[in-house]
């Protein structure tokens, strides 16, 4: 329900950790992951999205299986609206931050020339800020955060040896498009049931849908189009970052984000309208939108369209605009 009343005494920490908390939410995923695909390297983006999807699914399901409550308030002050709607253990913010930062480091360290120590520090600082933000905002205990980071680290170590094999199968297998859609849908429809509504199922469907759409896009690009970006324009070396490269990078990003956000808004309206007509409920009916037969197709179709648009439509538009 309602956020607690509180007085901010240290604005530096307040805005630092509020911003850090956003690094584990949709606004970050929908900007950083596509940015990597458009401007850095396809292979880096593919690996990050694979890891992100697997780690987040396991984290979300673990919450609803373990059913560990979030910190009691009081004594903590909760700075976010999602207070008792979700369980706490493990912290999926900590899992996502650890997975994204260290998978990015691992995927780029052998491809680009930059000091490994600098990358390691950046990954550690990024994940640490997100983890600390969950404590500051009162949303998780220390155990939740440590558990999330450790689970993510273990999954990274287990998946790393299979990265190249998984990536090869996703790009070349004729069954990839079908499995990329069917498997996530089955997982979403068979998500653990709770006695009350929790946004975890919807969030999980959003993540798996985006990953499914992106994976289909990866496969199509590999089958029918030449790689749009090879990373040659952005070698992560400061002397090579010229004003021209900066302009191109920013142009790709803003054009891409506009298309992605437009796709999300259009698909939300279209899919909700169709489901509302099918199940006889007004679009503004929040309770109806939380039903399994509505929430899963609504979230999955919308965000798979976003993933597909980011990996197929946006690169084509970049090519037409001469931004490659």
Whole-angstrom distance, CA of residue 196 vs CA of residue 31 = 32
From start to end of 65-200, where are the E strands? none
Whole-angstrom distance, CA of residue 6 vs CA of residue 110 = 47
**Per-residue pLDDT at 84:** 59
Lowest mean pLDDT among 75-79, 95-99, 289-293, 316-320: 75-79
pLDDT higher than 80, residue 239: no
The answer to pTM > 0.75 is yes
Q: Is 318 a catalytic residue?
A: no
Q: Is 140 a catalytic residue?
A: yes
Whole-angstrom distance, CA of residue 240 vs CA of residue 115 = 15
Task: Give the pair of three-digit tokens for residue 271.
Answer: 């899919």
Match 């992951």 to its residue by tokens. 33
**Per-residue pLDDT at 138:** 84
Name 269's Cβ contacts closer than 8 Å, sequence gap at least 6.
none
Whole-angstrom distance, CA of residue 49 vs CA of residue 212 = 10
Whole-number CA gyration radius for the chain: 20
Residue 35 CA: distances (Å) to CA of 13, 49, 122, 271, 314: 28, 12, 18, 26, 11
Higher pLDDT, 79 or 213: 213
Phi, psi of 147 (to 5 degrees): -60, -45
Nearest to 288 by CA among 278, 276, 277: 276
- The predicted-structure confidence for 42-52, as pLDDT tens digits, reads as follows 888 888 999 99
Whole-angstrom distance, CA of residue 45 vs CA of residue 136 = 30
Residue of 42, 140, 168, 318 marked catalytic: 140
Name 236's Cβ contacts closer than 8 Å, sequence gap at least 6.
108, 112, 113, 114
Nearest to 268 by CA among 293, 245, 250, 294: 294
**Per-residue pLDDT at 237:** 42
**Per-residue pLDDT at 4:** 60
Residue of 42, 93, 168, 318 marked catalytic: 93
């Amino acid at each position: 329900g309602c956020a607690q009343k509180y007085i901010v005494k240290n604005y530096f920490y307040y805005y630092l950790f509020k911003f850090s908390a956003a690094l584990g939410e949709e606004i970050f995923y929908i900007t950083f992951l596509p940015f990597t695909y458009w401007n850095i390297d396809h292979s880096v983006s593919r690996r990050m999205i694979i890891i992100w999807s697997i780690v987040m699914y396991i984290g979300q399901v673990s919450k609803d299986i373990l059913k560990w409550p979030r910190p009691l308030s009081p004594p903590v002050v909760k700075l976010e609206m999602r207070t008792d709607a979700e369980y706490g253990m493990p912290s999926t913010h900590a899992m996502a931050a650890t997975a994204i930062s260290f998978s990015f480091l691992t995927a780029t360290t052998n491809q680009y020339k930059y000091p490994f120590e600098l990358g390691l520090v950046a990954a550690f600082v990024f994940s640490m800020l997100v983890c600390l933000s969950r404590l500051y905002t009162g949303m998780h205990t220390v155990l939740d955060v440590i558990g999330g980071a450790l689970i993510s680290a273990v999954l990274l170590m287990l998946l790393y040896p299979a990265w190249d094999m998984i990536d090869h199968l996703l790009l070349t297998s004729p069954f990839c498009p079908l499995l990329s859609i069917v498997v996530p849908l089955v997982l979403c429809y068979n998500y653990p049931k709770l006695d009350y509504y929790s946004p975890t199922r919807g969030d999980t469907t959003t993540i798996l849908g985006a990953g499914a759409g992106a994976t289909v896009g990866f496969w199509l690009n590999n089958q029918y189009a030449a790689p749009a970006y090879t990373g040659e324009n952005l070698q992560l070396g400061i002397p090579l970052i010229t004003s021209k490269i900066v302009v191109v990078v920013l142009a790709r990003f803003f054009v891409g984000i506009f298309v992605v956000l437009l796709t999300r808004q259009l698909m939300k309206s279209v899919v909700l309208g169709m489901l509302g007509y099918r199940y006889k409920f007004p679009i503004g009916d929040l309770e109806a939108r939380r039903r399994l037969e509505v929430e899963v197709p609504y979230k999955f179709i919308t965000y798979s369209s976003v993933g597909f648009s980011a990996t197929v439509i946006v690169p084509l538009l970049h090519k037409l605009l001469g931004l490659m």
